[in-house]
Amino acid sequence: MKKNIVLIDTDLSLIKSISESKKINVELLITDADDKKIAEIKNLYRVNNIITRDFFNNYLAQKEIDLDYKVIEKFRYSQLNSEHDQDRWSTDNNLKQYFYFNALFFWFSFFSNNSISAVVNNGLFHGANYDSLALDVAKYFGISGYVIDIHMERYTEEGIVSVRSVINYNKKKRIPLDINELNLKPIIVDDFLFSVEKISKFLKKKRKSLKDRIKYLLPSYSSSIIHILGYVISSRLIRHHGLNTSPLIPLKNIFYVRKLRKFYDSIAVELDTSKKSIFYALHFEPEASIMARAKLSNQLYIIKQLSQNLPSGWILYVKEHPHQFKLYMPGWWYYLTSIYKYRTKEFYKEILKFDNVKLLKLSMKSQDIIKSTDAISTINGSIASEAISYNKPLILFGHQSTPFGLCKDTFKITSKKQCKNAIEKIADGFIPEYSDFSEICENYLFEHKELAANNVQLLIEYLVFEYENPSND
């Protein structure tokens, strides 16, 4: 007998393979497909219930709502995540809360009235009404939740390829997998190290057409401005996930980011290799990798904790994320809409209030910084694997949200005492071995194509039928 699942597959890289299963039925699909693609999916894959992310809030607004106050209280943490996620698109607090309550009742009603065995989320969960809330309510009903997590990516001629692992959402536990048995593609770690530099070189090689070369010569923000002006001229609002934004806001923020970049450049310094130091790599914000996944996501607090535990004479170097000032990445409306909430002059000034903390110039390559500093710190960034590859001590503030937190020699920080002990050990000359790194890569990580079909049928069948119920046929 088939088991029903909810599938959150925004880029449709799982649905084809899962639909071929004789054991799994997709009862509800959440995706980014347009109307034409949805009709195709219904015809090809026999999925009748499909809701798009953009239409999700509007769809639920038409439904009746009847929430018990006890339920509302039970999911306060989910509400906080939801409002944080929607904060990237809107400043309308009433609307954000309204959409959340509609979604909470929808998922409660859906899981009450349907026999669902699992919720499978493809990619990072955002704290959103369509992903994290679905997983939270499913957990309340005793329904399994699985997240096919994203860690690193690289560009190929065929498209973007990412490193994935699977999280048991309900137990917050990463799942070991028999990669070969489940017909998944193992990763070659070196292919994904220092991806920012590699991606830049790859894209440069691909600039072959006259149009590409002209775009390369123009200021990076030109295409964004032209695109936004199209909305202004036609008097249209930018719409995402049921929330509207005036195009004047991202237009204004383009110039805001340019000024902020100049300010950062004016206070950043070169790395002094004669001093003992720790490097903290800032995460891009706003971003799902830390917003809903990490227990501690405030980077100012993390920098303060590192600073206050540094030995005398040591420096904490902090460097902005390579993408934080970019203005032309596809699909970055949420960034151009809300960047002023996450990066300000005051943010950088607060960092520099600590005498032993310095901001590094953006031109410095991560590879050179890792080689020259005595330890690396991050919440859960891809720089973790790069630090491990150089056998550098690694201080993690979000070890639960990265597979590299499984490595024995990493410092897993959940308190001031642990941070202090880690830095003391590093100062005493600790050199990690990371002897289990290869084993972790082999047992947890696999390659996944973005925006393309992947063979995951055996993986999903294993999760739904065998992982938590090994006696089931």
3-state helix, strand, coil in the chain (%, to 5): 45, 15, 40
C-alpha angle 153-157-163 in degrees, rounded to nearest 5: 20
Q: Comparing C-alpha atoms, which of 2, 22, 3 is closest to residue 119? A: 3
- Burial grade of 228 (CB within 10 A; 0-12, 13-18, 19 or more): buried
Is 0.85 topped by the overall pTM? yes
Q: Identify the architecture of domain 195-439 in CATH.
A: 3-Layer(aba) Sandwich (3.40)
**Torsion-angle region of 411 (φ positive above 0: left; ψ -120 to 50: alpha; else: beta):** beta
- pLDDT value, residue 200: 55
**What was the pLDDT predicted at 17?**
97
Burial environment of residue 211 by CB neighbours within 10 A (0 to 12, 13 to 18, 19 or more): exposed
Q: Tell me what pLDDT residue 312 has.
A: 96
Q: What is the CA radius of gyration of the chain?
A: 23
Cα 355-395-319 angle, rounded to 5 deg = 50
Q: What is the pLDDT of residue 295?
A: 87
How do the domains of the chain map onto residue ranges?
3-187+445-467, 195-439
Residue 9, φ and ψ in degrees, nearest 5: -135, 75
Phi-psi region of 313 (alpha: psi -120 to 50; beta: other; left: phi over 0): left
How many CA atoms, within 13 angstroms, populate the side-chain half-sphere of residue 327?
23
**Cα distance between residue 315 and residue 333, in whole Å:** 36
pLDDT in tens, the chain (473 residues): 899 999 999 999 999 999 999 999 999 999 998 889 999 999 999 899 999 988 888 778 777 778 788 999 999 999 999 999 998 888 888 989 999 999 999 999 999 999 999 999 999 999 999 999 999 999 999 999 999 999 999 988 888 999 999 999 999 999 999 999 999 999 999 999 887 655 555 555 555 555 555 554 456 677 778 888 888 889 888 877 777 888 888 889 999 999 999 999 999 999 999 999 999 999 999 887 888 888 888 999 999 999 999 999 999 999 999 889 988 766 677 788 899 999 999 999 999 999 999 999 999 999 999 999 999 999 999 999 999 999 999 999 999 999 999 999 999 999 999 999 999 999 999 999 999 999 999 999 999 999 899 999 999 999 999 997 654 43
